[in-house]
Amino acid sequence: MSSEHSNSHLQGHGLAALALGAIGVVYGDIGTSPLYTVVEIFKPATGVTLDAHNVTGAISVIVWMLMIVVTLKYVLLILRADNRGEGGGLALTALATHALQNKPRLRAGLLLLGVFGATLFYGDSVITPAISVMGAVEGLEVVTPTLSHWVLPISLAVLVGLFAIQRFGTSAVGKIFGPVIVLWFLALAAIGVHQIAQAPQILAALNPLHAWHFVTERGWHLFAAMGAIVLALTGAEALYADMGHFGARPIRIAWLGLVFPALILNYMGQGALLIQSPTAIENPFFHLFPQALVLPMVLLATLAAVIASQAVISGAYSMTKQAILLGFLPRMTVRYTSAREVGQIYMPAVNWALLVGVVAAVLLFGSSSALAGAYGIAVTLTMMITTVMTWFVIRDGWQIARRIAVPATIFFLAVDALLVAGCAIKFFDGGWFPLMMGLGLFALMSTWSRGRQLLMASIQRDGLELAPFIESLALGGAHRVPRTAVYAVSNPDTVPQAMLHNLKHNQVLHETNVILTVVFEDRPWVKSEQRVQLEALAPGFWRVTLHYGFMDQPDVPAALALCEPKGLRIPVFETSYFLSRETVVPTQGEGMANWRERLFSAMSRNAGGVAEFFRLPDNAVVELGTRVQI
């Protein structure tokens, strides 16, 4: 899918439909935050006493954090940083590193920082489904305390079911995402207005002075309080990550037109309830509703939680595919679940790994309150990394004046630092869980990237130069046979190992030989007219380079068909694809640490097949193995 296809996809839908879709997919995560945020602020560990003054102050901080972090930073600023229509951590990283082309060392460091930020997303992809679903199902305890022992098994059943249906794709259930979440936000707003009418003094929370007083009165307890308040902001990264699906304008309209007002009204409604009835702190969200509406709201909240979970699960698939195409993860099976929507994919390995992580989180922590300790640190670190990346984009890419860029960046970094510090003190309460997961994934991704560099260097060092080799073949000796042979190589200047094996063992050379290299660029889409580069090397020898973006769907046979207008016909039923499968042999000495080389070797052995990844026809692929030392 090229950029022009992406744009026409956006233009082909009405603005209202896109805004409705954005409400369903983008705002599910932040929209379920009212389920568990307020109760965490007044836990004994935060040191915030439950009285009218502190309730007003805490709600004021939530309101103004939503204004500063989500509205100003993400909706108004970062949504402008689109990488050819795409957003998200890796897209922003590519944009920032592109702005630093003349600073290679800084560029390399920034790339690693961006990859680390991407790995933290997986921690969010595990915690979000667990805390959202458990927070919703815990409403059963408000219906009747005797149902409390059913919360854990029902939560696990919902989560297992959610991951089990992923292989069928999201198009069927996706149609109800928007309307359900719209109903959810309307319910949040309506009950909020009802409660505010009972205690209108909570409207004072709109005054930022109450937020300032709350912050300055806390002392060292401020960090604990901010560690709870940050739960209201989780999901903000989704605004940027999903920009490619909906466009910036529909996301802005959805936020300012419905989501932001509904969240503010609901949080103030919970504040009004606590001013009147402090005992409601055990579950202020579900106590907002009359007893007759609690059970329907539990069902609606569970649906909203499932939708919020779906957004991060789909995001994890998309992030993994981007990481594979950028060279940070080995190939995995990617299944496309929609013939029309290229972004709808299913990755079995990622799906089941996430399910294991989610089930482990639910069993390990046991409640949404305990999970709140684990939630936030990965999200806030990602927010800080986003701010750093945005600095390089606005300063080196957009050439914004320093007098504007410096104060704005310092302000947002200060807010990010406060939020990170607030979550850091929860490290031993569960914050270690997503952080360790992110560090583990970073070790895998950096090892794979470095290992591939060493592998390519070894192949190039031991390989034969292509040009002299072709000249020697022109002198005769090799028996020519009909058909076309396509040799996939990473280095187009060396002789493919598969060609050497073919000559050595079969003692034949095909009539037409294509040296094929696939290049993945640090931009999301490559236009179809820029897909193919073709070069004639000698009679019967061609060099073809295919270019893809990190959001493109690699399809080599379809791309090779584009060679015909340029003078090279590659007949579908008369072509064989020769692939080299390298067996990595770890060695002592230079390169990586021995444990990393062994890890890379294991990852290489278990990497998905080239044929499936590039959509090569199964009955036309010949794989030849070679052992390579690194």
Determine what percent of the chain is predicted with pLDDT higher than 70. Answer: 94
Residue 7 has a pLDDT of 45
How many other CB atoms are there within 10 angstroms of residue 158's CB atom?
A: 19
User: Does residue 8 carry a pLDDT above 50?
Assistant: no
Chain CA centroid to CA 471, Å: 48
Higher pLDDT, 183 or 460: 183
Q: Are strands 541-548 and 532-538 parallel, antiparallel or unpaired?
A: antiparallel
User: Does residue 9 carry a pLDDT above 50?
Assistant: no
As beta bridge partners, residue 494 has 465
User: Does residue 273 carry a pLDDT above 90?
Assistant: yes
What is the rounded average pLDDT of the residues 262-278?
Answer: 96
Ranked by mean pLDDT, which of 134-138, 143-147, 212-216 comes out on top? 212-216
Using pLDDT thresholds of 50, 70 and 90, give the confidence band for residue 107.
confident
Tell me the pLDDT of the chain averaged across its residues: 86
Residue 1 has a pLDDT of 38
**Residue 583: how many CA atoms within 13 Å on its side-chain side?**
5
Sorted by sequence, the CB contacts under 8 Å of residue 350 that are 6+ apart come out as 316, 317, 320, 332
- 65: nearest Cα among 424, 421, 415, 425: 415
Higher pLDDT, 626 or 256: 256
Q: Which residues of 161-195 are buried (b: 16+ CB within 10 A; e: fewer)?
A: ebbeebeebbeeebeebbebbbebbebbbebbebb
Residue 170 has a pLDDT of 59
Ranked by mean pLDDT, which of 97-106, 254-263, 455-464, 619-628 comes out on top? 254-263
Q: Which domains, ranges and CATH numbers included, belong to the chain?
A: 3-430 (1.20.1740), 455-629 (no CATH)
Residue 3 has a pLDDT of 40
User: Does residue 385 carry a pLDDT above 70?
Assistant: yes
**Predicted TM-score of the model (pTM):** 0.80
User: Does residue 11 carry a pLDDT above 50?
Assistant: no
Residue 372 has a pLDDT of 83
CB 605, CB 476: distance < 8 Å = no
Residue 338 has a pLDDT of 59
Looking up tokens 């149902």 gives: 147
- Give 219-237 pLDDT, tens digit per residue: 888 998 998 999 999 888 7
Chain CA centroid to CA 558, Å: 28
Q: Where are the alpha helices (DSSP H) in 366-496?
A: 368-374, 377-392, 402-424, 432-462, 466-474
Residue 155 has a pLDDT of 92
Query: How far apart (Å, rounded) are the C-alpha atoms in residues 291 and 602?
Result: 56
DSSP single-letter state for residue 552: S
How far is CA 295 from each of CA 34, 36, 88, 209, rounded to the nearest angstrom? 17, 17, 36, 38
Enclosing H/E stretch for 177 = helix 171-198
Residue 140 has a pLDDT of 86
Using pLDDT thresholds of 50, 70 and 90, give the confidence band for residue 585.
confident
